[in-house]
Amino acid sequence: MHSSDIAKLRQYIEKIENLESEKIEVQEQISDIYKQARGDGFDAKIMKKIIKLKKMRTEERETEDMLLDTYMLALGLVPSSKEDG
């Protein structure tokens, strides 16, 4: 490997290491926010689910909701409309 390639490789490694360090800091900040939200009575698990859903396209979210409903109904986890009557 040429010395210029070695220098480039070192730069890439250093950049990645710096970003990994920043990522850890950001993850800690996010964790702190969830703790604060829990302290105010919010459910962090539901908040995470909302963030996940907001990232999805409408079509993806609708498909996921339909499949979830279908599977839950099939497993008897929700009453069917026939049982409501």
Residues 6 or more apart in contact with residue 64 via CB below 8 angstroms: 56
d(CA 83, CA 80): 5
Give the pLDDT confidence score for residue 81 in this predicted structure.
72
- Is the per-residue pLDDT at 84 higher than 70? no
Total domains in the fold of the chain: 2
- Model confidence pLDDT, tens digit, residues 39-68: 999 999 999 999 999 999 999 999 999 999
Are residues 50 and 62 located together in one domain of the fold? yes
- Model confidence pLDDT, tens digit, residues 1-46: 899 999 999 999 999 999 999 999 999 999 999 999 999 999 999 9
Are residues 35 and 53 located together in one domain of the fold? no
Are residues 22 and 47 located together in one domain of the fold? no
Give the pLDDT confidence score for residue 78 in this predicted structure.
84
Give the pLDDT confidence score for residue 70 in this predicted structure.
95
Are residues 49 and 26 located together in one domain of the fold? no
Residue 15's nearest CA partner among 7, 26, 27, 4 is 7
- Is the per-residue pLDDT at 82 higher than 80? no
Give the residue numbers spanning the domain of 75: 43-85
